[in-house]
Amino acid sequence: MAAKKTFEENMARLEEIVSKLEKGDAQLGDSLKLFEEGTKLVGLCRSELDKAEQQVVKLMKGPDGAPVESDFLSEE
């Protein structure tokens, strides 16, 4: 059984896939395989980000001890 990859490893692989697909020089069959792998990685990464967001919300507490949800501020 393969070891579970980290979020960072999945993101790095997804970036590789996007780069290869953007070049447009892969055969159709290879492009489809890359696209399929990429869509699976997007799902895994989205799931990890959702879990992280839920954890952040749990860690943010209001004055009464209840979790308070607020928007993340952009540094731009």
Q: What is the pLDDT of residues 8-47, one digit of tens each?
A: 999 999 999 999 999 998 899 999 999 999 999 999 999 9
Asked whether residue 71 is domain-assigned, the answer is no
Instruction: Give the angle 7-51-16 at the CA atoms, nearest 5°.
Output: 25
Asked whether residue 73 is domain-assigned, the answer is no
Asked whether residue 38 is domain-assigned, the answer is yes
Count: domains in the chain: 1
Asked whether residue 45 is domain-assigned, the answer is yes
| pTM over cut 0.75 | no
Asked whether residue 66 is domain-assigned, the answer is no
Whole-angstrom distance, CA of residue 69 vs CA of residue 45: 22
Asked whether residue 74 is domain-assigned, the answer is no
Residue 75 — very low, low, confident or very high, per pLDDT cuts 50/70/90?
A: low
Task: Collect all residues with Cβ–Cβ distance below 8 Å to 44 and sequence separation of at least 6.
Answer: 10
Q: What is the SS3 assignment for 56?
A: helix
Q: Tell me which residue range forms the domain holding 14.
A: 7-59
Whole-angstrom distance, CA of residue 37 vs CA of residue 4: 15
pLDDT at 55: 81
Asked whether residue 19 is domain-assigned, the answer is yes
Asked whether residue 2 is domain-assigned, the answer is no
